[in-house]
Amino acid sequence: MNADYSRRLFLKKAIAGIPFVTGIAILAGSCNNSGTNNKPKDDNTATFKSCDDLSGLSAEEKDARIKLHYVDKSPVKSKVCRICALYIPAKEGMECGGCTLLKGPIHPEGTCIYFTPKEEV
């Protein structure tokens, strides 16, 4: 009897831990640093020569741009990426910057639904 209870308790705990292990696996997979050169560099500047080149993005990354309603030209002049707290400026001589939310090139005059104005110091 005691062995059955122990086995049953083990199985309950093992099944209860599945969501936790799955969550850890998803987080670990999202931390993958391999990929294209279209990712912003660690010095907080982006190196995108063209705002139109999305060739280095996966289907999921392109879908994220659509879901966040990213556009290259903001209809509201006070809500443009270059003054957004999430914008990563382009390196000198480069056309587009990056974003902490979206992968790929971000036009300085673009916008999305997560526009957050920079705080003034």
pLDDT of 35 higher than 60: no
Backbone dihedral angles phi then psi of residue 46, each to the nearest 5 degrees: -105, 155
Please identify, in words, the CATH class of the domain defined by 37-121.
few secondary structures
CA dihedral angle for residue 51, residue 55, residue 60, residue 61, rounded to 10 degrees: -30
Tens digits of per-residue pLDDT, 56-80?
A: 889 999 999 999 999 999 999 999 9
pTM of the model: 0.60
